[in-house]
């Protein structure tokens, strides 16, 4: 059964069209992320699900019931929003027990649940402090605990890790995932951080300018991006994009001509590419799918070292290839002199091609 369904949901704030026809559904116990750049309509979407914002048009169904006109407090959803402040006069333990008291839980049961969430989120040391005594990151952990402590049909988390440093973020991510899996919670996480979405989600909604660009598993988004936007947004470091003219040899093979470089293209996808011959297209290749090669290898092209970054187990090599900047992730960290000449090769099983005007993926 679907836990939640959004059907053609719109949100306008006066002239601003923040959400434009968003439709997706999630299953019970699923972990869904909504990801996209700042201002793309993620929080507006989540706030409509929570009941904190009116829905301009479309419908939202929770547990098969249309909830458009149900007040926020009557929806069975738990929220951890960035702007959702803690109760300043209550201790951490008090903030956690409050939502349970409101729902009629009593003594023993409250203590048990509060202790359990304090331990799961590593908050025991702070239990008797008030929010003003805590750092931003610690307050966020309490806010998350307050949302997760009570039973709800759906949990909505808007940038719940934004005030944490990198290490705390990874630690809290694993704790939240564990709570979600152990208790079978249905969660929607809003984040601008695609790595966070890839790491945590069963499926991801990628948004841009109020519209869904793609809805799929982390693997689908990474390996089969639907368009140029998703290809650019998902992956770290970002995919390389090279614009060139598509040509066809007498033998029927396609190539991408970019200044002096002729990139051979794979045989697959021939029919769709035919209509692009002699036109501009964009080729995409991830830094992980380029390797250094010998000069005489077929398909190898020359680059000049622009910069090299040491990254521990690996390194990032930035090359200038005929004026195009190409980033390569090298598995073994070896230093490269700026200005040195090298040859490299694309893994042509991992090449993507896009229409430069529509962003549509062609291969």
Residues of the shown chain interacting with Mg ion in the complex, contacts defined by CB under 5 A: 43
Residue 274 CB, nearest approach to ligand ADP (Å)? 39
Query: What value, to the nearest 5°, has the Cα angle with vertex 159 and ends 153 and 165?
Result: 130
39 lies in the binding site for ligand ADP (CB under 6 A): yes
Tokens of 171: 């630690």
Applying CB under 6 A, the span of 37-45, 61-69, 135-143, 335-343 interacting with ligand ADP comes to 37-45
Minimal distance, residue 25 CB to ligand ADP, in Å: 20
Task: Check binding of 38 to ligand ADP (CB under 6 A).
Answer: yes
Burial of 313: CB neighbours in 10 Å, binned 0-12, 13-18, 19+: exposed
Residue 310 interacting partner from ligand ADP, Mg ion, none (CB closer than 5 to 8 Å by kind): none
Which of 33, 43, 95, 240 is close enough to bind ligand ADP by CB under 6 A?
Answer: 43
Q: How far apart are the C-alpha atoms of 290 and 346, rounded to whole Å? A: 5
- 42 binds ligand ADP, rule: CB under 6 A: yes
Note the helical H segments in the chain.
Answer: 42-50, 92-102, 107-120, 136-148, 166-183, 194-200, 218-223, 228-233, 270-274
Per CB under 6 A, the list member of 4, 6, 9, 18 interacting with ligand ADP is 18
- Min dist CB 188 to ligand ADP, Å, is 13
Is residue 11 a contact partner of residue 68, using CB atoms and an 8 Å limit? no
Least distance from ligand ADP to the Cβ atom of residue 190, Å: 6
Conformation bin of residue 226: beta by default, left when phi > 0, alpha when psi is -120 to 50: alpha
What is the token pair recorded at 120?
């799961």
Asked if residues 55 and 69 have their Cβ atoms less than 8 Å apart, the reply is no
**Residue 21 contacts ligand ADP per CB under 6 A:** no
- The site for ligand ADP, by CB under 6 A, has a size of 11
Classify residue 349 as exposed, middle or buried by CB count within 10 Å of its CB (0-12, 13-18, 19+). Answer: exposed
Interaction between residue 160 and ligand ADP (CB under 6 A): no
Give the residue with the Cβ less far from Mg ion, 193 or 232.
Answer: 193
**DSSP secondary structure of 214-230:** EEE-HHHHHHS-SBHHH
Q: How far is the CB of 17 from ligand ADP (least distance, A)?
A: 8
Residue 352, token pair as written in the block: 């993507």
Q: Which stretch binds ligand ADP (CB under 6 A): 33-41, 54-62, 238-246, 289-297?
A: 33-41
When the beta carbons of 42 and 113 are compared against ligand ADP, the nearer one is 42
44 touches ligand ADP (CB under 6 A): yes
Stretch that binds ligand ADP, among 20-28, 32-40, 123-131, 317-325 (CB under 6 A): 32-40
Q: What is the dihedral of CA 323, 329, 333, 337, to 10 degrees?
A: 0
Binding site for ligand ADP (CB under 6 A): 13, 16, 18, 36, 38-44
């Amino acid at each position: 059964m679907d836990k939640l369904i959004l059907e053609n949901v719109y949100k306008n704030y006066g002239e601003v069209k923040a959400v434009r026809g968003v439709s997706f559904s999630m299953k019970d116990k699923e972990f869904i992320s909504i990801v996209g750049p700042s201002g793309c309509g993620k929080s507006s979407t989540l706030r409509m699900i929570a009941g904190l914002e009116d829905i301009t048009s479309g419908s939202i169904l929770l547990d098969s019931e249309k909830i458009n006109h149900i007040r926020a407090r009557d929806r069975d959803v738990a929220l951890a929003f960035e702007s959702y402040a803690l109760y300043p006069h209550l201790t951490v333990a008090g903030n956690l027990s409050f939502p349970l008291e409101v729902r009629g839980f009593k003594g023993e049961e409250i203590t048990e649940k509060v202790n359990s969430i304090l331990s799961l989120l590593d908050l025991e040391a702070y239990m008797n402090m008030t929010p003003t005594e805590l750092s931003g990151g610690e307050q966020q952990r309490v806010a998350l605990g307050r949302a997760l402590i009570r039973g709800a049909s759906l949990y909505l988390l808007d940038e719940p890790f934004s005030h944490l440093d990198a290490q705390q973020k990874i630690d809290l991510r694993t704790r939240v995932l564990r709570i979600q899996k152990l208790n079978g919670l249905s969660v929607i996480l809003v984040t601008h951080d695609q790595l966070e979405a890839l790491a945590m989600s069963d499926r991801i909604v990628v948004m841009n300018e109020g519209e869904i660009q793609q809805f799929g598993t982390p693997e689908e988004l990474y390996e089969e991006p639907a368009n140029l936007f998703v290809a650019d947004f998902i992956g770290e470091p970002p995919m390389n994009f090279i614009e060139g003219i598509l040509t066809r040899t007498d033998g029927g093979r396609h190539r991408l001509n970019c200044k002096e470089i002729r990139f051979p293209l794979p045989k697959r996808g021939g029919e769709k590419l035919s209509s692009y011959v002699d036109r501009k297209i964009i080729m995409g290749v991830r830094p992980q799918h380029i390797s250094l090669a010998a000069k005489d290898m077929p398909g190898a092209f020359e680059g000049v070292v622009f910069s090299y970054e040491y990254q521990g187990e690996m390194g990032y090599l930035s090359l200038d290839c005929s004026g195009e900047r190409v980033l390569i992730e090298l598995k073994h960290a070896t230093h490269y002199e700026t200005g040195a000449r090298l040859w490299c090769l694309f893994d042509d099983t991992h090449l993507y091609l896009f229409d430069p005007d529509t962003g549509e993926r062609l291969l």
